[in-house]
Structure 1
Amino acid sequence: MDLKDQLKNLFPEHIVEEESANKKNDFWWQTEPLICKYEKRKGKPITIIEGFNGSSNDFKILAKEIKTLLSVGGSFKDDAIIIQGDYRDKIMKLLQEKGFKVKRVGG
């Protein structure tokens, strides 16, 4: 007997919500749009994503997902995701599919 069965025996009237395959709702809902901006540091282009209201752990998960999807390097520091290269269009499309409001800044 696993944990779910034990809980079902303890609370028979509880309705269990099935885990959805869509991870769209896994993140904190934003009230303000995320800022997606372009800069050059030491002559190299970077994309910076700022303005996330939720926990930093969720933002780190989002950073890893973006880096994996685009197959690029990057980092997470000072509550900002820094992606190597100019990928604003792809990042904005990904974030909008996840339900975030995104604002493009710079260039």
Structure 2
Amino acid sequence: MLNICPKCGLPMDLCVCESLNQEDQRITISQESRKWGRVVTVVTFNSEVENLKKLLKKAKTYCASGGTTRENAIEIQGDHRIKLKKFLIKQGFPEENIEIARRR
């Protein structure tokens, strides 16, 4: 029995929904200060990402840090802006769609 994608109706082997979603994303990477001066890197997506939890798990492993998801954003403990940009490019997101914002 073949698994069928609920969005495009194609078999999962031929599904292109995830790659189309990645190409349309506008991503902002910023740094925020939390209470007691802790620094958090926030990766904000302009629209919903299908596998945000899986992406978070890979990002936490890549940065060797803790983190969480909030709405359409990933929060990683510490200043990992440059490292996360490289990580997202490796994951297939276009470099021209990723912006590193100044500190908030």
Q: Give the TM-score normalised by the residue count of structure 2.
A: 0.69
Shift of 1:34: 0.7
Give the ranges of 4+ consecutive aligned residues of structure 1 lying more than 4 Å apart after TM superposition.
none
| Equivalent of residue 50 in structure 1, options 30, 44, 49 | 44
1:52–1:59 CA contact under 8 A, matched in 2: no
Are positions 1:84 and 2:77 aligned together?
A: yes
Distance 1:85 1:102 in 2: 19
Q: Which runs of 5+ in 2 are unaligned?
A: 3-12
**What is the alpha-carbon root mean square deviation over aligned residues?**
2.3
Q: Which has the larger radius of gyration?
A: 1
SS at match of 2:51: helix
Where do 5+ consecutive residues of structure 1 fail to align?
5-16, 19-24
The answer as to whether partners of 1:30 and 1:52 remain within 8 angstroms in 2 is no
One-letter code aligned to 2:47:
N
Code of the residue aligned with 1:47 in structure 2: it is: T
Q: How does 1:1-107 map to 2 (within 5 A)?
A: 28-42=21-35, 43-55=37-49, 57-100=50-93, 101-107=97-103
Deviations 1:29-65 (A, max 9, x none): 232421100111111111001115344x411111110
- Percent identical residues: 28
TM-score by length of 1: 0.67
* Matched residue SS, 1:106: coil
Rounded to whole Å, the distance in 2 between the matches of 1:53 and 1:30 is: 11
